[in-house]
Every structure is written in structure tokens, then in C-alpha cells.
């Protein structure tokens, strides 16, 4: 099963060469302002990709996915995961869009208990975890050196330990890290200036 993974494209999806694969995964911030037009443009583009399965976990810029009416109009070929599980060929995927913070971004939750409520829903036998936020201390550093990842998610990962954890959100820290039993990927395509600097990640599961 070949996964093609990316995040933080912020309306520049049309400019990206997308490799072939079985599942196309976007880990959030597919739009910039989260408007209806931006959202519909991205969904049309994603639905037209040739990958048999497509998974989208929205990010903090993707305001329109907070509207329940939109969720009814998602193309059938796209699975939008909002604290949900999806099983494909016996592999268990779990996706959540929440990010810590109180800055009135989409899917923002206060650090601590409010974030923990979401992570407590993750099944312990999850194979591929897809979140928009990174866990605290893992590819979550911005240029100033400050870390913006989620402390509660890091605690949960000591229990869940997925094979793969996909996320984005922090453009500055895009990359790969293996820790214990989990491979971590910060999939951010754009740099902090909004320029395309990286390509989608391809991996076999």
C-alpha cells in the first residue's frame, strides 16, 4: 500500500507534481483563508487525483470544514477525518484536525484538558495517525526556537505508538524522525515565507 503524503499547501496544490500511489493523504492547511471558493477548489483538485483512496485532515486555516453543511457535500472519493477512524485493507488510520491555541483559528482548542479529550479518542491499535499539529518536541520548532507542538499529544503517543505519525502545521520544521516504534513526518510543503520548498512524501505501508 503506497501512501503519498503532504500538508500545508495553502492554495498552491495546482503547482505540485503529485506522485502515483494508492492513498493520497493531506494533513491540513489545504487553504489559506478557509473560504468556500478555496475549499471547493481544493476538493475538486483532490477528487480529480488518480489515487484510489484520498484522506484529508483539515488544519487551522481550513475554517470551512467547521461548517456541517459543507461536510454533507464532500465528494464521495474523499474521506475527511474529524476525530475519526478509517480502515483500509486492515490498516487503521485515525485523523484529527485540532491544534492547541486560543487565537481564533479553525479547530483551535485550549492546551491541557481540552486537547486531551480529543487524543483520548485515538484507538491504541492505530497504525497511521494523522494530525495537523505535531506533538510537543517533535519537529514543532519555529525559527525563533519556540516549540508549538501539543504536550497532551506527546503523552498520548507513549500509549498509542502508531507505526506512522503524519502532521504539518510548523513549516520551519518539515522533515522525518524515528523515535521508538514510530516514524514521524512533518509534511509541510511550504516554507515560512509561503514558498514551495518540498515535495510530497511517498512511503509504503
Give pLDDT, residue 70.
79
CB atoms within 10 A of CB 68: 7
pLDDT digit string (tens) for the chain, length 205 residues: 999 999 999 999 999 999 999 999 999 999 999 999 999 999 999 999 999 999 999 999 999 999 988 788 899 999 999 999 999 999 999 999 999 998 889 999 999 999 999 999 999 999 999 999 999 999 999 999 999 999 999 999 999 999 999 999 999 999 999 998 999 999 999 999 999 999 999 999 9
Domain count, the chain: 1
* Distance between CA atoms of residues 119 and 102, nearest Å: 18
Give pLDDT, residue 102.
82
Phi-psi region of 43 (alpha: psi -120 to 50; beta: other; left: phi over 0): alpha
Are 62 and 31 spatial neighbours (Cβ–Cβ below 8 Å)? yes
Give pLDDT, residue 71.
82
The CATH number assigned to the domain holding 191 equals: 3.60.21.10
Give pLDDT, residue 74.
93
Give pLDDT, residue 88.
98
Give pLDDT, residue 42.
98
* Distance between CA atoms of residues 114 and 205, nearest Å: 32
Q: Contacts for 187-192 with beta carbons within 8 Å, 24 or more apart?
A: 187/5, 187/6, 187/7, 187/8, 187/27, 188/7, 188/8, 189/6, 189/7, 189/8, 189/9, 189/12, 189/16, 190/8, 190/9, 190/10, 190/12, 192/142, 192/143
List the domain range (segments joined by +) for residue 19.
2-204
Amino acid at each position: 500500500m503506497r501512501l503519498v503524503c503532504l500538508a500545508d499547501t495553502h492554495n498552491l496544490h495546482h503547482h505540485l507534481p503529485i506522485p502515483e500511489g494508492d492513498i493520497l493523504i493531506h494533513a491540513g492547511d489545504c487553504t489559506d483563508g478557509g473560504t468556500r471558493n478555496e475549499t471547493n477548489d481544493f476538493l475538486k483538485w483532490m477528487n480529480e487525483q488518480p489515487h484510489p483512496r484520498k484522506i484529508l485532515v483539515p488544519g487551522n486555516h481550513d475554517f470551512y470544514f467547521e461548517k456541517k453543511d459543507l461536510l454533507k457535500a464532500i465528494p464521495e472519493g474523499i474521506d475527511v477525518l474529524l476525530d475519526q477512524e478509517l480502515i483500509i485493507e486492515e490498516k487503521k488510520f485515525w485523523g484529527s484536525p485540532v491544534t492547541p491555541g486560543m487565537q481564533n483559528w479553525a479547530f483551535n482548542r485550549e492546551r491541557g484538558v481540552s486537547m486531551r479529550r480529543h487524543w483520548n479518542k485515538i484507538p491504541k491499535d492505530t497504525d497511521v495517525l494523522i494530525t495537523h499539529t505535531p506533538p510537543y518536541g517533535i519537529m514543532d520548532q519555529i525559527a525563533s526556537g519556540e516549540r508549538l507542538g501539543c504536550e497532551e499529544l506527546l503523552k498520548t503517543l507513549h500509549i498509542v505508538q502508531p507505526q506512522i505519525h503524519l502532521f504539518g502545521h510548523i513549516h520551519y520544521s518539515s522533515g522525518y524522525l524515528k523515535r521508538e516504534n514510530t516514524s514521524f513526518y512533518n509534511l509541510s510543503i511550504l516554507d515560512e515565507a509561503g514558498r514551495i520548498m518540498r515535495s510530497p512524501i511517498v512511503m509504503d505501508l
